[in-house]
Structure 1
């Protein structure tokens, strides 16, 4: 995650989000297996401060909301929140695809809404700088006085407080927090299980076993159409950066990582050459989709649904479940299985995808807001028991019902009468399926994973190593200004060369030249800046 005067930086979550957390920093500072962050009884709210009568709220429009609604004000949870608090909210949504540009323009203009919900890791300047420039405000004291529910969550989970506090001691947003490690691992390698079964192959666990499986997918006609049209594996640089598949077998990532408190940049490490050489061999041998670099999401979907693709990186929901629902009506034997992140040899514990409990996503209050204490109180409602249930499960009796203390989604969500996909049905009622200023509840994911294959995949992927994950470190404005252009150039060059090495346009013997070029671009300065930021992070209290 990136920042300027405290630019949040994390190599693994350049995306998203999303969602989706508790990794080691420094040596192995793991968050507890979770001191239950699910709110209990709602803390006593301050009586002297009322909820605001109205406020303006800037936030990106989630695609699942956009599919059936025009703005967040139509979500049942927000309608109910208005009834509970009397606060009328005017939601402002930037055009889809223009969120970053609109955010930057908004900050530059100084014409700010009361609340800005954003992935602050993508902000051009970090929170400390934005606080000094009077764009957003420090929330520490306001939270202590007017947010008893969030205060309790932070007291019960001190690792959360460390993550949401900047190096200068500022809390800048009411955070989106992952409430359980189950929510941290949401992506990994998936193979056609029916193909494995047909060819009498086991799920691979090492790089060598993967090569054996992919070769069999190429040669033995597992789709049974008599043509040699199978694509064993779909590679993508985005997947590589997100989940470290295959490169993690060498104990490195394709970006910055944290090895025992020391920052390293994976692409200049000797192991990256071995990874590239393996991928180049696989590509030459026809084990990797020859068109991977020009294949978009729609075409990738077609390769799966046309029974051509044997393996890929994907999610339990938008991958395993969605593909199964799309393909099984015409090919009942179609099935997918989540595979372990492979090591170089049996028993290795390679790196895998992992999301920190806090990734910079949260609701900040602008410096121009007239009633920040009232807004903090309003936002804090979501962290209490009622608000927690409301924004993770929706309306009791409609979208969920309590069964022995467990909020169970109704058929309105799981078997929507309007035939809406589960994520769109959820979006009509609550925000747990993406993000927002809440603690995400693991009971959401337990039910969202309707297929045993989904749950088993997540459990399998979670066994990978996460200790080298970058925590949400923050760069100073000076560090960021010095290294932002460096990393833009490095990433552009890195991506270009990864494709050239894999596709054979650049001989692997030129790897040392590749490393020297990256060093000449200033990667050592970028590493130094992140090392300083990691040291500051480790010293946070």
Structure 2
């Protein structure tokens, strides 16, 4: 064995000498050795394939493989949606799509990331939580995007520079950015709950829209005493929501001064008196709000089915003309029979003078919507490709489709064509756009702003309702916190007990099955469930977020 190894060492040394001699010969330009890296150019040469600005993105055709989420909104194959051909011609980048229906994405995503096979170049419209981003980033499956954004994503970089909260939201606990987010800046879309009242009911009862919680009670009481739908039955439902009890609590919570950091953190905010974090469901104001809702429920002013309400039930009750107040995302959820009878309300002032409208989402509608993997050989071109959708032209393509077909531009304003608005075949707006764009279903790596989304796709009544509420929303809206992986796992374990208890007792108090005399008992139970540890984790992560 030793002799064999010695012989191999001598041969290796001889080969090194020959290699050096060949290197000297190549200086004379003769008999130069073949470059072994010719089939796999170094990074510098790869960058020469890339145009740093403008279009096309690459000087030679490039194919990327992406895993994507498809939705029922898409008409036909995901790969055949019209925007892709337009963008390929513009960018020089062709994408081979592995599009998976939304219901199957979680399972398929986990298989792709955890079986050790070759990964797609990127994940597109695939929602990943901060925990997943941290986990797969630390495992090296997803690559950090910090430097790539700095050098190759001017549109998204500008957004982060102008909106520090966006940068906070996408930066994980280890300091890395592993994803580009879905940004929602359209006002109506940031308010998932608007407050609507049936104007015909107000006119019939000669009432004004309420401005306080006391006035809301009075109007609801009056509504319940009138046969508003003229069917000689006492079947009117003064107040309901297609979003269940959350659709009632979230619009009203701010009237008791709760939820001053927005909807991403529905159970934790900052106590104005102490500037310390507080757990909302244990607060005195929360108790008073539940007492108000108990009063409405016990007097049948609040829908008796509120804990099982959904959008289908709301539409059914709306069709029968039973609904006075509806707290909902859009006025059209009440159904076509009465959707135009609704008007929006301002935030209601509570018994202690608070006039806060809590349920405002941050600009980051979803943190993880576009991720680049370790197997991507062209990350620079990939980041340039996705960054286009964070700019003006890209947003227009993403949400409105193809200029000259689905929209036109006049005096700087884009407007849908009659193909979309008054389709000659009677197709709905969604049916037409589903052939051209892929934004249906959410988790879009782009910016859904007023200009190309809100003003184009959201009706006047809903937009007006949102505009009435916005002046009363929180001054500071927290984005999602990037808990460390261990803290995230722990806080989810604690939440499983704590928040299940909150929901259960919420229903018990509102329906009267639990007495408010037991409130202290209720609050003390949180300590046995680990609320102190829960808040310690929250405080630690908040300090990092707030830096």
- Into which bin does the TM-score normalised by the smaller protein fall? 0.7 to 0.9
Give the structure 2 partner of residue 55 of structure 1.
64
* Whole-angstrom CA distance in 1 between matches of 2:98 and 2:193: 31
Give the structure 2 partner of residue 368 of structure 1.
375
Encode CA deviations 1:60-92: one digit per residue, 9 max, x unaligned: 323422xx3342x23322221122223332333
**How far 1:482 moved relative to its partner?**
1.8
* Whole-angstrom CA distance in 2 between matches of 1:269 and 1:51: 62
Matching residue within 211, 229, 238 for 1:232? 238
Which has the higher mean CA deviation after the structures are superposed, 428-437 or 74-83?
A: 428-437
Give the structure 1 partner of residue 293 of structure 2.
279
Give the structure 1 partner of residue 528 of structure 2.
520
3-state SS of the aligned residue for 1:471? coil
Is the CA contact (8 Å cut-off) linking 1:183 and 1:442 kept in structure 2?
no
Encode CA deviations 1:282-313: one digit per residue, 9 max, x unaligned: 11110111122233332221011111122222
Matching residue within 130, 148, 157 for 1:142? 148
Give the structure 1 partner of residue 457 of structure 2.
448
Query: Within the alignment, does 1:321 sit opposite 2:332 as a pair?
Result: yes
**How far 1:43 moved relative to its partner?**
8.3
* Whole-angstrom CA distance in 2 between matches of 1:475 and 1:428: 39
* Whole-angstrom CA distance in 2 between matches of 1:43 and 1:154: 20
Which has the higher mean CA deviation after the structures are superposed, 110-119 or 440-449?
A: 110-119
**How far 1:231 moved relative to its partner?**
1.1
Query: Within the alignment, does 1:192 sit opposite 2:192 as a pair?
Result: no
* Whole-angstrom CA distance in 2 between matches of 1:51 and 1:200: 70
**How far 1:179 moved relative to its partner?**
4.3
Give the structure 2 partner of residue 133 of structure 1.
139
Alignment of 1:248-397 (within 5 A): 248-253=254-259, 255-259=267-271, 262-316=276-330, 320-321=331-332, 323=334, 326-327=336-337, 335-345=341-351, 348-358=354-364, 359-397=366-404
* Whole-angstrom CA distance in 1 between matches of 2:245 and 2:311: 12
| Structure 2 unaligned spans of 5+ | 1-50, 260-265
CA RMSD of aligned residues (A): 2.9
Is the CA contact (8 Å cut-off) linking 1:45 and 1:148 kept in structure 2?
no
| Structure 1 unaligned spans of 5+ | 1-41
Is the CA contact (8 Å cut-off) linking 2:242 and 2:312 kept in structure 1?
no
3-state SS of the aligned residue for 2:482? strand
3-state SS of the aligned residue for 2:316? helix
* Whole-angstrom CA distance in 1 between matches of 2:465 and 2:428: 21
Alignment of 1:467-486 (within 5 A): 467=475, 469-486=477-494
Query: Within the alignment, does 1:113 sit opposite 2:125 as a pair?
Result: no
Q: TM-score, normalised by structure 1?
A: 0.82
Give the structure 1 partner of residue 262 of structure 2.
none
* Whole-angstrom CA distance in 2 between matches of 1:52 and 1:522: 56
Task: Give the number of aligned pairs.
Answer: 485
Is the CA contact (8 Å cut-off) linking 2:56 and 2:92 kept in structure 1?
no
Give the structure 2 partner of residue 64 of structure 1.
73
Is the CA contact (8 Å cut-off) linking 1:58 and 1:113 kept in structure 2?
yes
Change (3 A) 1:513 1:105: farther
* Whole-angstrom CA distance in 1 between matches of 2:93 and 2:133: 27
Is the CA contact (8 Å cut-off) linking 1:432 and 1:440 kept in structure 2?
no
* Whole-angstrom CA distance in 1 between matches of 2:61 and 2:380: 9
Query: Within the alignment, does 1:416 sit opposite 2:423 as a pair?
Result: yes
**How far 1:460 moved relative to its partner?**
1.0
Change (3 A) 1:413 1:186: farther
* Whole-angstrom CA distance in 1 between matches of 2:144 and 2:352: 50
Q: Which portions of structure 1, spanning 4 or more consecutive aligned residues, are displaced by more than 6 angstroms?
A: none
3-state SS of the aligned residue for 1:487? helix
Q: TM-score, normalised by structure 2?
A: 0.81
3-state SS of the aligned residue for 2:237? coil
Encode CA deviations 1:429-457: one digit per residue, 9 max, x unaligned: 33456442212231121122343x22221
Which structure has more helix as a fraction of its residues?
2
Query: Within the alignment, does 1:502 sit opposite 2:513 as a pair?
Result: no
Give the structure 1 partner of residue 546 of structure 2.
538
* Whole-angstrom CA distance in 1 between matches of 2:270 and 2:128: 18
